[in-house]
Every structure is written in structure tokens, then in C-alpha cells.
């Protein structure tokens, strides 16, 4: 089953680096040519029945993943869950969904119009997790979403793809300290998300995370092309629990700030 998992994440990685070239370069910089273990991969979706969190998760449950944690982000109107594989070197997967019904009628209508363009069985596509933007959207609708929910705007433009991959610092050969990883990245000219501080979390909460700011890439809207934030790369260091095992969960307060790595204004 890990062959299937590896094959799936290879496809997702290729799609991701197409619009996130910095991740490919940082992968080389931190891994020094050797392979990197991913701590997790993150997804975004709407809670609409055709494409909700559970529909994405179906693809993971089929290859040996199990649900391991649930999270709520009230201000961003998101629900999230994380999934783990029995082989701990396979990436965890963090999936969030936007609670569409909590938004204004105007926003609900724009999102409803996107999802209505999809066939009912869209989530059954074997490539659903790397199928990209499957609907048409105008730049004005994108801007309307952006004014209310950066998350909704990003999803409307980029669709089904990894929002970020995350390097497991615990598994790097040449690095052990997130501060050193961050300074290596900054010296190489990369910009980090400083919202909530460069490092989110600490050894007390058993998880430290940092991330780059998203790259920019061109998206074709129905009326024009625009260059907008694409995806970012994240770095995670985990600390052991009392039983000696590394903590495997997520820290909601840190994830809340990580979401902002795709902000246009950052
Ligand atoms: Ni993450």
C-alpha cells in the first residue's frame, strides 16, 4: 500500500512544484540532493456535498489512512481533520473545508456557481486530489471572494491540489533546529510568513512550524489572466510526548497563522 501512497504523492508533488518552483529549489537546498520526508500535505475545499472534506478523505482511506484529529477555525469559518498512515514515513494529510453556509448570500452564490459546474461524481476521479481548477471563474468573482475570504479566493483559483507540502525537520540529515532552517532559507533569499512570528508553536505544544510566503503564478480567469499567490512550503519540527513517541497532531493556533501564507497582502 505504501507504493500506492508514494505514487499518489509523486503526482501531487509534480502538480505542486509546477506553480511553486521555490519548493523544488528549497527541497534541493535542505535535502542536499537526497529525498525528504514530508511531515504533511494540506488541502482546502468547500463543504458543499460534491467536494467536501469527506469526499477528499475517501481517496486517503482507500490507501491505508485513518482519521486522527479534528479542528475548528471559527474566524476563518473552517473545519479541518487530519489523517495518518500506519507507515509514519508517509505524509500526514491535513484537510480543511470552508463552511459556506456561514457566508453572505453573495459569497454563497459565487461558490454555488463554481460547484454547480462540476459533475456529481467529480470526487470519484482517480486524479481528484491533483485535478486542479475544474470550474470557470471571472476575475471579478475572484476579487469578491478575496475581499471576504482569502481561503475561498485561493480555492476558486487553484482548485484541487496541495496547498502546501511540509518538510519534516526531524528527518533531515543536515538540520535539526527550525531556527537554523529559517536562517538558511532567508540567506538564500526566500521570504518567510512572519504573521504570528516566524516560528509558530514551541516545544511546549510539541510542534514548531514555519513557512515561506506563497509563490506567484498566472491563473486564467474567464475575462483575463492574473498573477496571484499560488502555494507555499512549510517546515515542521515535532517533539516527543511523555511516552517517547513524537506528537502527531496539529496546533490550531499555529495552523490559523499558517493559512495566511497565501495572503495577497502579505
Ligand atoms: Ni501545514
Dist. CA 83–CA 57, nearest whole Å: 8
The pLDDT, as a whole number, for residue 266 is 47
pLDDT tops 60 at residue 83: yes
Half-sphere exposure of 77 (CA within 13 A, CB side): 16
Dist. CA 37–CA 237, nearest whole Å: 12
Residue 180 near residue 152, CB atoms below 8 Å: no
Per-residue confidence at 265, pLDDT binned at 50, 70, 90?
low
Q: How far is CA 179 from the centre of its chain?
A: 22
259 CA → ligand 1 middle, Å = 8
What is the value of pTM for the model shown?
A: 0.96
Query: Tens digits of per-residue pLDDT, 92-147?
Result: 999 999 999 999 999 999 999 999 999 999 999 999 999 999 999 999 999 999 99
166 CA → ligand 1 middle, Å = 6
pLDDT tops 50 at residue 243: yes
Query: Tens digits of per-residue pLDDT, 174-197?
Result: 999 999 999 999 999 999 999 999
CB contact set of 28 (below 8 Å; sequence gap of 6+)? none
Q: What mean pLDDT, rounded, does the chain reach?
A: 96
227 CA → ligand 1 middle, Å = 23
165 CA → ligand 1 middle, Å = 7
What the block records as the C-alpha cell of 84 is 495518518
223 CA → ligand 1 middle, Å = 32
Nearest Cα residue to 79 out of 101, 63, 98? 98
39 CA → ligand 1 middle, Å = 8
For the chain, percent of residues with pLDDT exceeding 90: 92
Amino acid at each position: 500500500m505504501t507504493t500506492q501512497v508514494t505514487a499518489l504523492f509523486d503526482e501531487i508533488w509534480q502538480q505542486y512544484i509546477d506553480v511553486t518552483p521555490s519548493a523544488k529549489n528549497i527541497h534541493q537546498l535542505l535535502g542536499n540532493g537526497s529525498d525528504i520526508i514530508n511531515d504533511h500535505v494540506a488541502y482546502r475545499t468547500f463543504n458543499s456535498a460534491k467536494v467536501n472534506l469527506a469526499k477528499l478523505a475517501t481517496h486517503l482511506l482507500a490507501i491505508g489512512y485513518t482519521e486522527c484529529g479534528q479542528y475548528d477555525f471559527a474566524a476563518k469559518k473552517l473545519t479541518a481533520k487530519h489523517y495518518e498512515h500506519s507507515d509514519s514515513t508517509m505524509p500526514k494529510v491535513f484537510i480543511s473545508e470552508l463552511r459556506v453556509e456561514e457566508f453572505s448570500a453573495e459569497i454563497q452564490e459565487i461558490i454555488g456557481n463554481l460547484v454547480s459546474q462540476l459533475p456529481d461524481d467529480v470526487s470519484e476521479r482517480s486524479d481528484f486530489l491533483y485535478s486542479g481548477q475544474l470550474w470557470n471563474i471571472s476575475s471579478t468573482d475572484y476579487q469578491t471572494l478575496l475581499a471576504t475570504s482569502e481561503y475561498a479566493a485561493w480555492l476558486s483559483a487553484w482548485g484541487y491540489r496541495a496547498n502546501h507540502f511540509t518538510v519534516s525537520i526531524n528527518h533531515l540529515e543536515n538540520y535539526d533546529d527550525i531556527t537554523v532552517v529559517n536562517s538558511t532559507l532567508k540567506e538564500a533569499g526566500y521570504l518567510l510568513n512572519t504573521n504570528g512570528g516566524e516560528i509558530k508553536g514551541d516545544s511546549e505544544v510539541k510542534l514548531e512550524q514555519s513557512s515561506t510566503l506563497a509563490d506567484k503564478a498566472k491563473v486564467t480567469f474567464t475575462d483575463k489572466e492574473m498573477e496571484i499567490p499560488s502555494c507555499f512550503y512549510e517546515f515542521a519540527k515535532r517533539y516527543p510526548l511523555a511516552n517517547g513517541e513524537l506528537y502527531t497532531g496539529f496546533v490550531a493556533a499555529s495552523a490559523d497563522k499558517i493559512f495566511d501564507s497565501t495572503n495577497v497582502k502579505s
